[in-house]
Amino acid sequence: MLIIKLKTHIMHKIPLLFLALVMLFTSSTHAQTSYTYSMVIKGGHVIDPKNKIDELMDVAVNDGKIVLVAKNIDAKKGRQVVDAKGLYVTPGLIDIHVHFFWGTDLQGTYRNGPLALPADGFTFPAGVTTVVDAGSSGWKTFETFKKQTIDRSQTRVFSELNIVGEGMAGGRFENNIDEMDAQKTAEMAKKYPENIVGVKLAHFNGHRWEPTERAVEAGKLANIPVMIDFGGADPYLPLDSLFSVKLRPGDIYTHCFGGDDGVGINKLNGREQIVDIKTNKVKPFVLKARERGIIFDVGFGGASFLFSQGTPAIKSGFFPNSISTDLHTGSMNGPMKSMPNIMSLFMAIGMPFKDVIAASTWNPAKEIKHEELGSLSVGSGADIAIFNLREGAFGFYARDGQVKGKNRLETEMTIRNGNIVYNLNAIATPNILPAAPQSNKPIKEH
Ligand SMILES: [Zn+2]
C-alpha cells in the first residue's frame, strides 16, 4: 500500500517537473531572442510622397507604429520579416469616397441599405487602410452608421455627413431641400470630431443653389470641408460659380472627370465638364479654381469617369488631387473594381506612378485634415501597403471607351496598425493568421 502510494506520488510529480523544465527552457529561449521590432519589411522600393522617399529601403515596425525607415535594417531583429524584394512599399491607401453604410433596410439604398458594402472585405485586398464614407449617413442616421460600420470595422472608417438628415436614402430625401439642415448637421459633426471629417452633398437634381449653400454653411459651422457630387440640372449650373463663389479653398469636387453636359459620348447628366472637349483643354476657370485651392477628386463610381475628360486632363498635366473609388455594389465589379485598378488606369493614360501614389495616400490625408495618416513617417501608425507592379498587356474601360496599359498594380500585402491583414503570396516569415473579428462586440475604438 505504501509502495503504491509512493509511486503515485512520484507519478504526480513528473508532469510538474516536466512543466517546470519547459518553462525554464522557453523563458531562456525567449531571453535569447528578444526582438527589437515586431516586423521588418526587407528589400522593397519605398514610395512615401510626404517624406519624398522613392528608393530601396527597409521599414521596421514595433508596437503598431513605424519606428525606422532605413537601408539594411537587420532582419534578425524582427519577430516577423516580410520579403518585399521586387515590390513597392507605400503608406496604406486612403480612399475618400466609398459607401459602407451596409444594412437591411431594403428601401434604404446606400443608407443602411443593400447598395452599400461592408468595409474590410473590400479594403484590405485593395491595399486600403483608411476610407471616408461619402455621405451615406446624415445627422439622423450617423449614430447607427457608427455602431454598425465604424466601430465594427478593422478598416479606419471616417464619415462625411450628408447634408440630407437621412443620408443617401433615395430621391424622396435627397431631392428635398427641407431635409437639409446645416445647424443639425454641424452639431452632429462637432459631437463626433474623431469620426466626421466633412459634409457631403450628393444627387440633388434641379436648378437650385440652396443645397450647395446649406452644405457649405454646415462645413463652415463645423470647420470641415465639403465634398460636392453636383447632381444634375437643365440647363446645368455653372461650375465656375461653384468653384469661385460657393466653395471655399479645401472643398472637394468629386466625380471631377464625370461631367457630361450633352456634348459628351453617352447621355446627358446635366453637369458641366471641366475639359472642353472641342479643344481638349482643361477650362481656364478650372485651372483658376485649382490655384484657389479647390480640390479635384476622382470618385470613379459606376459611370462617373469619362476618358474624354480624364485623358486630355492628364496629358496636359492636370492630375486629380485624389484618386477615389466611389465603391458600392454598382461599381465594385464594373470598370472601377478597386483602388489598384483605377490607379493602374490613371497610369495607363499617362499619370506618373509617383503621382498616382501621392493621390492615393498623402494628398487625401491632407484633404481630410488627418496629416498623421498617409505617410511612413517614424512615429506614425503602421498602416502600410505592398504592391507588385506587374508588367504585361492589360486593359481598362469606362463608359466612353477603353485603353490598354503596360502595368497593373496588384496588392501583395496590407498592414493595419502593424498587423498583416492581407497577404496574397505568403511573403512573411512566419505567415500567421490574421485575428478573427468578433461578432458580438466592437472590434476597437478608432
Ligand atoms: Zn458616391
- Alpha carbon of 142 to ligand 1 centroid (Å): 16
Write down the pLDDT at residue 436: 74
Write down the pLDDT at residue 45: 98
320 SS3 class: coil
Write down the pLDDT at residue 261: 67
- Alpha carbon of 97 to ligand 1 centroid (Å): 6
- Alpha carbon of 229 to ligand 1 centroid (Å): 7
- Let me know: does 12 contact 19? Beta carbons within 8 Å: no
Residue 198 phi/psi, 5° resolution?
A: -175, 175
- Alpha carbon of 8 to ligand 1 centroid (Å): 73
- Alpha carbon of 128 to ligand 1 centroid (Å): 17
- Alpha carbon of 301 to ligand 1 centroid (Å): 7
- Alpha carbon of 26 to ligand 1 centroid (Å): 53
Q: What is the mean pLDDT of each run of 10 residues along the chain (446 residues)?
A: 46 51 48 84 98 98 98 98 98 98 95 96 98 98 97 97 96 93 98 98 92 98 97 88 98 95 56 93 98 98 95 98 98 98 98 98 98 98 98 96 98 98 98 76 52
Write down the pLDDT at residue 434: 84
- Alpha carbon of 310 to ligand 1 centroid (Å): 18
Residue 298: CB partners within 8 Å, gap ≥ 6? 97, 254, 255, 256, 257, 305, 320, 322, 323, 324, 342
Q: How far apart are CA 138 and CA 161, in angstroms?
A: 5
Angle, helices 182-191/210-222, rounded to nearest 10 degrees: 30
- Alpha carbon of 324 to ligand 1 centroid (Å): 10
Task: Retrieve residue 438's grid coordinates.
Answer: 468578433
Closest CA to 100 of 87, 83, 112: 112
Write down the pLDDT at residue 3: 45
- Alpha carbon of 98 to ligand 1 centroid (Å): 6
- Alpha carbon of 116 to ligand 1 centroid (Å): 10
Residue 178: CB partners within 8 Å, gap ≥ 6? none
Write down the pLDDT at residue 262: 58
- Alpha carbon of 137 to ligand 1 centroid (Å): 12
CB neighbour class for 79 (10 Å; exposed up to 12, middle 13-18, buried from 19): middle
Per-residue pLDDT tens for 81-120? 999 999 999 999 999 999 999 999 999 999 999 999 999 9
Write down the pLDDT at residue 27: 46
- Alpha carbon of 360 to ligand 1 centroid (Å): 17
Write down the pLDDT at residue 264: 44
pTM above 0.85, yes or no: yes
- Alpha carbon of 134 to ligand 1 centroid (Å): 6
Residue 231: CB partners within 8 Å, gap ≥ 6? 201, 202, 203, 204, 205, 206, 211, 270, 271
